[in-house]
Structures are given as C-alpha cells and as structure tokens.
Amino acid sequence: MRRIMPYVSPRRNESVFYLAADVEVEAALEFLEKRNRERPADRPITLFHLLLRSLSQMLALRPGINRFVKGGRLWEREGIYLTFSAKREIVDGSPMLTIKRRFEPDTETLDEMVDAIYAKLRPARAGVESTSDKETKGLVRLPGFATWGLIRAADLLDSLGLLPRFMIEPDPLYTSMFVANLGSVKLGGGFHHLWERGTCSAFCVMGKIEPGPSGRRQMRLFYTYDERVEDGLYASIGIGGNHERLENPELLLASTLELARRGHGGGTPPSATP
C-alpha cells in the first residue's frame, strides 16, 4: 500500500494530513529563564529554538518521518534538515530570511545548536545573500517564459534523480521539515501547504503564547504532513514525543541516543484540537 500511494496520489497537496494540538509551555519558559542567565545577552535561547531542537530529535527518533516521495518512489533522506524563516527585523515590511540547516541531535548539544543558528542568521541579517537568494534573483530577471522553462526543466531532472547536488544543498525546499514561528509576530498560527517542488514532507507552524483553559500558558502547533511517507499512528507518536519534550524541556538537553535508551523514543499521540 505504501509503495502504490505515490501513483494513486502523485501530488503532495492531495496527500496531506492536518493536525493542530496545544502544548503547555510554563515549564519551557521557566527552563529558558534559568538557562539564559548563563547565556550571552545577545544570544538567548528562545522557545522557537526549543521547538527546532525537539523536532530534530523527533526526526532522529522516528526516521520514517524523515522521508519523501519523488518520481513515484519513497526515499530515505540522508541527514536531518530543518528550514525556518525569520524577519530581518520585527518591523512591518522587513525582508523575510529563509535559513536551511543540517541538525545533528545525536551529537550536538542544545547550546551548540543555538549558537550555530545565530552564526547562520548573523550574515543573513547583515544583508549577505545566500546561494539560493542569488539564484532566485537571477531567475526572476529573465523573461517569464525562460524562468518557467528552467524551473520545469529542473523539476524534470529532479524527478529522474539527476538534479546536481550543488543545486539541492542550498535550496530551502529540499528539507526534512519547514518550520515557521507566527507567534513571533503575535499571530495564532495556521496550516501551511506543502510545496510540490523539493522534498519537504512536513510543515510545522508555531502560534503565539496565550493562556489555556486552566490559566497556564500554552501555544498551538499546526502540522501539515504528507501521509504517503509513513502511516498516521507512527507520525502521531512522533508528534506526541515532540510535545512531551517541550513540556519537559530537560529532555532537550539529552542526545537522541540517550532519549532512546531512557524510553523516550516516541510519545502518546496528541488529541486533535478543534
């Protein structure tokens, strides 16, 4: 059944499953306050960093989620990649930056991950263009028919497994998961589509922090997931583990090897939020 699904549903956006769930963040916010006392003031750990850390752990612990469909076949991905967007400044009209990074939750610590993200953001916020930015600017300067033709040609090569690695590596859509923080601009969140281009099989949107029914602070996470890569129970257990780590943030200090040894390889599937 898993092998025939890419032929029955060849497009990602006709194969998506949507799930929204609330995560309590009181413990995470207390954890951040304590950890940031020992951090440089210009490089604090944020709740978004904790989410990135937990999602990278999820993809390592549940590798079936870190797959993609291309050319009618299901592929295992080499490495864990997360793409995320950030404003150059939290000002209306400020340019949006898109960052793609390989995560190593088996070996890197939480602080090492955070410092590496700041190091990657610093030149982008200073106006240094990435390879992907330069390629995009070059494409949009061409006549429309030429841009369309080049992109379709690249898609054809990609479907045949012939797209060169130097074009794939900097492209933010060739990633395990795309993550967006709408809470940073005080929005409640929402579901995002999956792009047909690239290999991104999942999208996670983080909403703003607000009081829950009990009065304790929470945030809502919105998942869009290509169900062709793995069955719903497997994926929902992975998402449940993500929520468990965010609500018990000390788990984010452990490597995924240690989490697996301690029996935290998954979690209870979350209840869907209406």
Tell me what pLDDT residue 72 has: 87
Residues facing residue 222 across a β-bridge: 20, 205
Question: What does the pLDDT read at residue 135?
Answer: 77
Which residues neighbour 261 within 8 Å (Cβ) at sequence distance 6 or greater? none
Residue reference for tokens 């099989």: 201
Amino acid 65: pLDDT: 94
Q: What is the dihedral of CA 53, 203, 171, 169, to 10 degrees?
A: 50
pLDDT surpasses 80 at 195:
yes
Q: What are phi and psi of 219, to 5 degrees?
A: -135, 155
* Rounded alpha-carbon distances, angstroms, from residue 218 to 7, 24, 41, 46: 40, 4, 25, 15
- Separation CA 59–CA 201 (nearest Å): 12
For residue 229, what are the contacts with CB-CB under 8 A and spacing of at least 6? Answer: 64, 65, 67, 68, 69, 74, 201
Instruction: Report residue 266's pLDDT band, with 50, 70 and 90 as the boundaries.
Output: low
The Cα–Cα gap between 146 and 99 comes to: 27
Question: What does the mean pLDDT of the chain come to?
Answer: 89
Quick: pLDDT tens for 149-166: 998 898 888 888 888 888
The pLDDT of residue 91: 56
pTM of the model: 0.89
**Sorting pLDDT into bands at 50, 70 and 90, what band is 89?**
low
Q: What is the largest CA-CA distance in the chain?
A: 57
Domains of the chain: 5-130+170-261 (3.30.559.10)
Tens of pLDDT, residues 227-250: 999 988 889 899 999 999 999 999
